[in-house]
Amino acid sequence: MGLITGVCTFLYHLPQIYKWLLKPYYITSVLMTVAFLVVRKAPGLCEHLATQREDGNSCDFDWRELEILMFLSAIVMMKNRRAITLEQHIGNLFLFSKVANVILFFRLDIRLGILYLALCVAFVMTCKPPLYMGPEYIKYFSDKTIDEELQKDSRVTWIVEFYANWSSDCQSFAPVFANLSLTYNCAGLRFGKVDIGRYGEVSQRYRVSTSPLAKQLPTLVLFQGGREIMRRPMVDNKGRAVSWTFNEENIIREFNLNELFQKSKKLNKTRGSKGEEQNGFQPEDGSDELYPETDDTEPTESKKDQ
């Protein structure tokens, strides 16, 4: 049953996986993940490698290499228990596979280990994970616009994500937050983002640490009337974030999005009623016509500019 579920999940995400494979970041990551396997199994090359197998077969894994690979599998499974998106699952696999490959190459030949480590450093410096560029209803703030937007209309509730482009957790969370904005955005409930890796003053003003040790990225804050109502993750006395899983179910439940959305839709109807009164139009008695919801989304700064 588990195998069937895995196959179905793979087939469901196959179009998305195909798109990933066309991007340089994922192509390079796949090649570096299977590098040791290729070197150990390649005919004409594996015969010249050292081995600790009793039969002297240098084209197969020895017991220590199998032990390292089994330990890698266990670590990836543990880390993926908290993964939210498919990107996080794949990212954990790539990360720990590279770590295991470094250990395996150094154990095999120090020259191969140094070469592979240099390739990993060059990869980290030159190849960045592709940013999410899908549909969304999100307003991108700068250090000069965030306060003005949050305080402009006291009737509007804002959910703001504080993020940094270099954070892998923020990159993985981007499609989740975008999907929430597509589902719940309306005139009275808006979604915004601010890059505190770029705007350090905003980080200090809203007390969101960018330190990797604090683990506060990403941070979601609910604002009403320009005042902070709640945030996730919460922060303890030592300035460290309390462990919290950023998935749609937790966000909808903790921020009570369904109730907020129902209340915020009334603002659309109020605005529609005022507009009709100004135009001299009055709905007929007994009419069941509903006012259409307006998106009311302002032009946002391009994500490429971020």
pLDDT at 98 over 50: yes
pLDDT at residue 291 is higher than 60:
no
Contact between 135 and 182 (Cβ < 8 Å): yes
DSSP letter at 34 equals T
| 94-124 exposure pattern, b = at least 16 Cβ within 10 A, e = fewer | bbbbbebbbebbebbeeebbeebeebbeebe
Tokens matching residue 145:
């616009």
d(CA 169, CA 171): 5
Supply the pTM of this predicted model: 0.66
pLDDT band at 15 (very low <50, low <70, confident <90, very high): low
Q: What is the pLDDT of residue 72?
A: 85
| Residues 68/100, Cβ–Cβ less than 8 Å | yes
* Region 108-133 average pLDDT: 87
- CATH 3.40.30.10 in the chain is located at 139-264
For 202-261, give the DSSP string.
Answer: HHHHTT----TTTT--SEEEEEETTEEEEEES-B-TTSPBPP----HHHHHHHTTHHHHH
% residues pLDDT > 70 (the chain):
78
β-pairing, 219-224 vs 157-163, is: antiparallel
Name which residue leads in pLDDT, 277 or 124.
Answer: 124
What digits encode the pLDDT tens for the residues 253-283? 999 999 999 888 776 655 555 544 444 444 4
Task: Please give the class, per CATH, of domain 139-264.
Answer: alpha beta
Question: What pLDDT does 268 receive?
Answer: 61
CA distance 88 to 150: 31
114 — pLDDT class (breaks 50, 70, 90): very high
Residue found by looking up tokens 């994922």 in the block: 26
* pLDDT value of position 139: 94
Question: For residue 19, what pLDDT is reported?
Answer: 60
> Is the confidence at residue 206, as pLDDT, over 80?
yes
Neighbour count for residue 259 (Cβ, 10 Å):
9
